[in-house]
Structure formats: structure tokens, C-alpha cells
Structure 1
């Protein structure tokens, strides 16, 4: 059975899956790094290249091949899901919203090959390959991500991005669904 048909057989049966059902599906699929020997390298200046493996109205599954750049802090809209580290080590930073409307880093954690970690709805995080590792991650979300919000601390802004944009500030105007100016807590000096 091919990887594509294996994924379809497992994921097509899920309807409004819970956190536990999503993780069970990932475990059942038992996907390994060797399943992705043909992944494209990330585009220059981008934190990762992503490949859609499966998508229906309930679920989407992607695999990401990471450069050494970090992605922007972002949420996953109204989606939740699991991230599996297929190879390398991920540095994952978790944020919470502050009174200024800008996320503040709470903590960071390292996830090594074989680790699974959960991304709750509206949770904000950023990721990057740690220590020059060859990071490849598998992502399973429900529902498919739409309305992802990315943050740019230098611009003191957030942007809801189109579904074809990754976790970075959009390069193309059509990828900016809505740009939001956030409060700047720095007071001007006279």
C-alpha cells in the first residue's frame, strides 16, 4: 500500500476528531523520515517548504522541510493538531497574549526526533531547526488551517494570511487577508 493510500484510509474516517483521535491517527500511520526522501528544499529566505499530503473538510496533513530560519510567531486559526518531529530537533517557543496585543514568550522547549507535541486552538508559537539539524516535521490539523495569524514584532503588527501562505509575513499582497496594527507600549519621549 502506498503512503498516499495509507494516509487516506486512516484520515478519511475522522469526523470532527478530538485531540486523542488525531494523535491516535498519527500513531497508526507510523510515518518515518524514509517516507519523504524526495522533499524539496526550502525556498531561499523561507523557514520551511511544505508539502500537502492530505486534505478534506475535516483534516489536513502536511510535511515540512526546515531551513535554519525560524518562522514567525503564529497561531493556527481555529484549528488544533499534532506536530511530529520526523528528523532533527525543533526549538519550539510558546507565547501568550499580553496587554499590548503582542505575544510574549512564555517558554521554549526542544523536541527531538520521534517526539509529538500538541498545538491547541488559538495557541501562539514559533519553531525552528535547532543547532543546524536537518529538521523535518509532520503536521496533522483539524479542521484544515484557515485564518492563521502571524506576528511581526518590529512592525508591531499582526496579519491574517491566506491559506497558501506559511508562518511568515506575506511577500505578496494577495496573501494579506487582514493586517492589524497592534498597540505599541513604548512611550515617546519629548
Structure 2
């Protein structure tokens, strides 16, 4: 059985989509980056990552991300939550706090090593990048429900944008990817 079939069987049989179940699932799938190997296309080198959807139904989605040497923008995951597993490399994960209509303020930065898994809560805001430009970074992401309504922040523009589902954690390049642009206030 190949990895795609294994993923489909496991995720299609899920009956519970709680935090603990998703953690057990992403761990038990025991996926390696070699099984999911794909390269960053030329256009992807202008973006923080290329992503590949591995599975999606109405309750859950699983993606793999192959990172460039750029960091993504601070963002949330809409009304979704999930787990991120580091398959290759090391992640620099910066976590933010958002209050009302103010720009996010940095709470802390953490390093996540290969093999580690970390939680992305509903409305939690973070940004990620590789902790070393010389080392390849590949991450696996399991979310419930599938992400929609993701909000991306531009700290320099003092703005946020709800992006379309085909946009990643970067400021949209095309107008059609901007579902809603929001002017933010700077923290006092």
C-alpha cells in the first residue's frame, strides 16, 4: 500500500476530530518526507512554501509543505485547528497575540526540530520559516475542519487580509485572492 492509499484509509475512517485524536493520527501515520518528496517550482521560490494537498474531506485536510528560504506572514487558520509535524529540517515558529483590531504582537519564538509536532489553535496567530537557509524544511499539516477564511497580517502595511482558500500564508498577489482587507491599529 502506498502512502496516498494509507492516508486515505486512515483519514476517511476518522470518527472524532478532536485535538488528541488529530495528534494521535498525525503521529500514527508515520509519514516520512521521502514518501512525499516534491520539489519547489520556480514560482515557489518567490513564496515561503509550495504545498501539496494529500487528503481533504468535509472534516479534515492533510497537507505537506516544502519550504523556500522565505518566512511566511503572520497568519491564523480561520476556524480550524490542527497539528504541524516537522518531517525534515528545523522550524522557527513565532507565536503572536492579537487583541481586537490591533496588529499582532510577538509573544515568543521557538525552535521545532525534525520529528517534533506542535499545535495550531483556532484563531492562534503564528509565522514559520526554516531556522537554517542551508537546510531543507518539509512540514506536514493536519487541520480540522479544512482551512477557510485564513487571515494573513502585513505588519508593515498595518493591515490584515482574509484570503481565498487557494492563497497561502503570504500577502495575496492577485486581487481575487483578497476576500476582505482590514486596516489594523498599531499596538500602543
Distance 1:111 1:166, change over 3 A: same
Q: Name whichever of 155-164 and 90-99 sits farther off.
A: 90-99
Determine the structure 1 residue equivalent to 2:88: 87
Distance in 2 (alpha carbons) for counterparts of 1:20 and 1:94: 21
Contact 1:91 1:110 in 2 (8 A): yes
Alignment of 1:11-160 (within 5 A): 11-41=11-41, 43-98=44-99, 101-132=102-133, 133-160=135-162
Distance in 2 (alpha carbons) for counterparts of 1:34 and 1:185: 43
SS for the counterpart of 1:49 is strand
Contact 1:83 1:119 in 2 (8 A): yes
Post-superposition shift, 1:16? 5.0
SS for the counterpart of 1:7 is helix
Determine the structure 1 residue equivalent to 2:173: 171
Q: How many residues align?
A: 186
**CA-atom RMSD, angstroms?**
1.4
Distance 1:181 1:23, change over 3 A: same
| TM-score of the two chains, using structure 2 as the length reference | 0.94
Contact 1:14 1:58 in 2 (8 A): no
Q: Name whichever of 129-138 and 70-79 sits farther off.
A: 129-138
* Cα distance per residue 1:19-63 (max 9 Å; x no partner): 110011112210012112333346131000000000000000000
Larger Rg: 1
Contact 2:89 2:114 in 1 (8 A): yes
Which blocks of at least 5 consecutive residues in structure 1 are unaligned?
none
Distance in 1 (alpha carbons) for counterparts of 2:36 and 2:174: 29
Post-superposition shift, 1:169? 0.3
Distance in 2 (alpha carbons) for counterparts of 1:17 and 1:44: 34
| TM-score of the two chains, using structure 1 as the length reference | 0.93
Contact 2:69 2:129 in 1 (8 A): yes
